[in-house]
């Protein structure tokens, strides 16, 4: 009993309050967006708001139970949970009904569950368990092989077998925890640089050069790679000599290209590859000569980026499905399609924008009430907030999420054991990723990727999944007090 009392006293009530405020606000908005004019009662459990209330109540109960379970269970049973989860993920597409091309839903009696929503939690536990084992340290990327596998396997299953790109991408968020544990920052920078290069290549890919042949996208992205390498050489390696030689070589490459172009039309895509190859080879020689591994990283960056630039044009046109391609084109402003692919986002922006400062008031949003935004109680629920609660409500919700995430980081940092800390960082990363992608999509800043807003979107699986995720963290955190005492 003393244990339970200390658990209650050790619980981080800030997190619970934030969770409850967000979840109840979400429920209000689900009620708002699924409201119809002939609805009789707010307590009607056959409608979405009523169901969500049931989900929420059960989620709270579930959270309570988790708080009572011995925290060591997660550490001990982590791999077993993870293994069972993988089996479930693989089994799901076999039994699942096809819902809009996705094979991620398991139907048991009246309840439909999406196992992918729970996979995040168990993957986080497994990763935390592995990375917290005695003597484990992240020195270089090789040490991260197992965590990468733990992260990548469920991700691959969800993406390939279940065809749920959005849910799969969420696993990328574990990189944040890896980073905190010592993974080189280059990986994150690479991620950002890759996205940037992808956008440049696609956005300018169909524009011709004013001279020769080839496309503007490749030229711009190549220039960007050169600039980054130059920046790294000067700023990080403090190697002025290599920087100058490299820059001169690139200029010579392009100079020859332009010169030849006077007589024969030159494909500058090849000039770009030649200049990058030159940079890679030159730096590789320097790395070996100077015995500098950091120089090797730069070579890796050049090679991967080059492959990316050349590859993503191909991938964009040949691997991505048509609707995905159109979504990206619309987002990058290359296509205008207010009734097609751009319809959802366009309507969502109208809904949010029309809310103005204070919003139209609860149940007063025409965009929401008149059902212009599809999926408005799931992925697009932030529209309802924007429309009915205005800037104050929507910015307020964002700040609530920020407060929750920062609180979780704070909790993570105060842990005394690595398992709890890594797990908490995984939770922070997952929440940050969901909020970023979901709201970024609704605000028209990111492509349409269907993932729910944590604790907010309609849906039992997602609410249960996030609640379990959070409750386990709270349980681990509460145990910290015991550890201090013991």
Partner 1 sequence: MINDRFYKRKYVIGGIAVCIVLSYILRLFFLQIIDQSTKEKAENNAQLRQTLYPSRGLIYDRNGELLVANQPIYEVTMIVREMKQEPFDTIGLCNALHISRDSFEIRMQDMTNRKKNRGYTQFAPQIFMPNLSQEEVAQLQQEKYKYPGVDIRIRTLRDYTYPIASHILGSVGEVNHNDIQQDDYYKTGDYSGRGGIERTYEKELRGKKGVEVYMRDSRGRIQGSYQNGQMDMPAEAGNDLYLSIDRATQQVAEQLMQNKIGSIVAIEPKTGEVIAMVSAPNWDPRRLVGKERSANYQQLLKDTNKPLMNRATQAQYAPGSTFKILQALVALQNGSITPHTKYPCNGQQSTPIKCTHDHGSPVDLEEGIEQSCNPYFWALYRDMLQQDGYENGHALFKEHYNEWREVIASFGLGERFANTDIREQAKGYLPTTDFYNRIYGQKGWKAITIRSLSIGQGEILVTPLQLANQAAAIANKGYYITPHFNRNDSMKSDIHTTLVDSVHFDVVHRGMSRVMTEGTGRWYNIPELQMCGKTGTVQNPHGEDHALFIGFAPQDNPQIAVAVAVENAGFGATWACPIATLVMEQYLTGEISRNALFERMTNANLIDKADEQ
Whether the CB-CB separation of 378 and 372 falls below 8 Å is answered with: no
Query: Site map for partner 1, 138-177, x if CB under 8 A?
Result: --------------------------------------x-
Judged by beta carbon, residue 245 or residue 443, the one nearer partner 1 is 443
Number of residues engaging partner 1 in binding (CB under 8 A): 54
Position among 120, 369, 434, 475 found at the interface with partner 1 (CB under 8 A) = 369
Work out whether 182 is an interface residue with partner 1 (CB under 8 A): yes
Judged by beta carbon, residue 179 or residue 282, the one nearer partner 1 is 179
Whether the CB-CB separation of 370 and 395 falls below 8 Å is answered with: no
Alpha-carbon distances, residue 229 vs 296, 300, 398 (angstroms): 12, 11, 36
Q: How far is the CB of 18 from partner 1 (least distance, A)?
A: 14
- Nearest-CA neighbor of 29 among 397, 275, 412, 421? 397
* 3-class secondary structure, 251: helix
Query: Site map for partner 1, 45-84, x if CB under 8 A?
Result: ----------------------------------------
Work out whether 187 is an interface residue with partner 1 (CB under 8 A): no
- Give the footprint of partner 1 on residues 392-451 (CB under 8 A): 394-395, 398-399, 401-402, 405-406, 409, 412-418, 421, 425, 428, 432, 435-436, 439-440, 443, 445
Whether the CB-CB separation of 390 and 377 falls below 8 Å is answered with: no
* Beta carbons within 8 Å of 313's beta carbon, 6+ residues apart: 201, 202, 205, 217, 218
Judged by beta carbon, residue 82 or residue 389, the one nearer partner 1 is 389
Work out whether 355 is an interface residue with partner 1 (CB under 8 A): yes
Whether the CB-CB separation of 474 and 15 falls below 8 Å is answered with: yes
Position among 352, 381, 427, 463 found at the interface with partner 1 (CB under 8 A) = 352
Q: Give, rounded to a whole angstrom, the gap between the first and last alpha carbons of the chain.
A: 16
Position among 223, 310, 354, 482 found at the interface with partner 1 (CB under 8 A) = 354
- Give the footprint of partner 1 on residues 103-142 (CB under 8 A): none
- Give the footprint of partner 1 on residues 331-350 (CB under 8 A): 339, 347, 349-350
Report the sign of the C-alpha dihedral through residues 324, 329, 330, 335, in that order: negative
Work out whether 216 is an interface residue with partner 1 (CB under 8 A): no
Report the sign of the C-alpha dihedral through residues 308, 336, 100, 59, in that order: positive
Judged by beta carbon, residue 113 or residue 409, the one nearer partner 1 is 409
Q: Rounded CA gap, 418 and 413, in Å?
A: 10
Q: How far is the CB of 421 from partner 1 (least distance, A)?
A: 6
Phi, psi of 378 (to 5 degrees): -110, -95
Look-up of token digits 């119809």: 36
Work out whether 356 is an interface residue with partner 1 (CB under 8 A): yes
Report the sign of the C-alpha dihedral through residues 16, 17, 20, 21, in that order: negative
Question: Which chain residues interact with partner 1 by CB under 8 A?
Answer: 37, 176, 179-182, 185, 339, 347, 349-357, 366-367, 369-372, 386-387, 390-391, 394-395, 398-399, 401-402, 405-406, 409, 412-418, 421, 425, 428, 432, 435-436, 439-440, 443, 445
């Amino acid at each position: 009993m003393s244990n339970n009392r200390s658990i209650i006293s050790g619980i981080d009530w800030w997190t619970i309050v934030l969770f409850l405020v967000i979840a109840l606000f979400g429920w209000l908005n689900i009620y708002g967006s699924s409201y119809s004019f002939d609805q009789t009662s707010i307590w009607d459990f056959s409608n979405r708001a009523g169901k969500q209330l049931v989900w929420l109540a059960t989620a709270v109960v579930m959270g309570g139970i988790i708080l009572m379970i011995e925290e060591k269970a997660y550490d001990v049973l982590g791999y077993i949970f993870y293994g069972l989860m993988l089996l479930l993920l693989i089994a799901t597409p076999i039994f699942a009904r096809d819902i809009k091309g996705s094979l991620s839903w398991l139907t048991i009696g009246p309840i439909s569950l999406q196992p992918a929503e729970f996979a995040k939690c168990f993957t986080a536990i497994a990763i935390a368990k592995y990375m917290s084992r005695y003597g484990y340290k992240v020195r270089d990327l090789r040490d991260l092989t197992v965590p990468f596998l733990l992260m990548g396997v469920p991700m691959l299953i969800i993406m390939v077998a279940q065809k749920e790109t959005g849910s799969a991408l969420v696993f990328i968020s574990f990189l944040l925890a890896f980073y905190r544990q010592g993974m080189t920052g280059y990986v994150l920078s690479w991620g950002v640089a890759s996205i940037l290069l992808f956008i440049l290549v696609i956005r300018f890919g169909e524009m011709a050069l004013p001279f020769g042949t080839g496309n503007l996208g490749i030229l711009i992205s190549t220039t960007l790679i050169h600039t980054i390498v130059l920046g790294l050489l000067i700023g990080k390696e403090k190697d002025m000599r290599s920087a100058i030689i490299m820059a001169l070589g690139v200029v010579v490459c392009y100079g020859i290209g332009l010169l030849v172009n006077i007589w024969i039309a030159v494909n500058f895509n090849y000039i770009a590859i030649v200049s990058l190859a030159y940079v890679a080879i030159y730096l590789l020689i320097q790395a070996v000569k100077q015995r500098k591994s950091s120089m090797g990283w730069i070579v890796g960056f050049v090679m991967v980026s080059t492959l990316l630039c050349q590859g993503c044009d191909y991938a964009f046109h040949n691997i991505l499905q048509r609707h995905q391609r159109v979504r990206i084109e619309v987002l990058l402003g290359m296509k205008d399609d207010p009734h097609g692919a751009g319809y959802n986002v366009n309507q969502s922006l109208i809904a949010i924008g029309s809310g103005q400062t204070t919003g139209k008031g609860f149940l007063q949003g025409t965009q929401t009430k008149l059902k212009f935004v599809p999926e408005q109680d799931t992925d697009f629920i932030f529209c309802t907030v924007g429309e009915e609660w205005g800037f104050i409500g929507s910015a307020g919700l964002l700040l609530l999420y920020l407060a929750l995430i920062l609180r979780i980081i704070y909790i993570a940092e105060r842990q005394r054991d690595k398992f709890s800390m890594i797990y908490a960082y995984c939770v922070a990363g997952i929440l940050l990723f969901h909020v970023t992608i979901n709201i970024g999509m609704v605000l028209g800043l990111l492509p349409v990727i269907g993932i729910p807003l944590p604790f907010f979107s309609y849906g039992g699986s997602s609410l249960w999944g996030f609640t379990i995720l959070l409750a386990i963290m709270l349980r681990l955190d509460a145990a910290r007090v015991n550890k201090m005492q013991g």
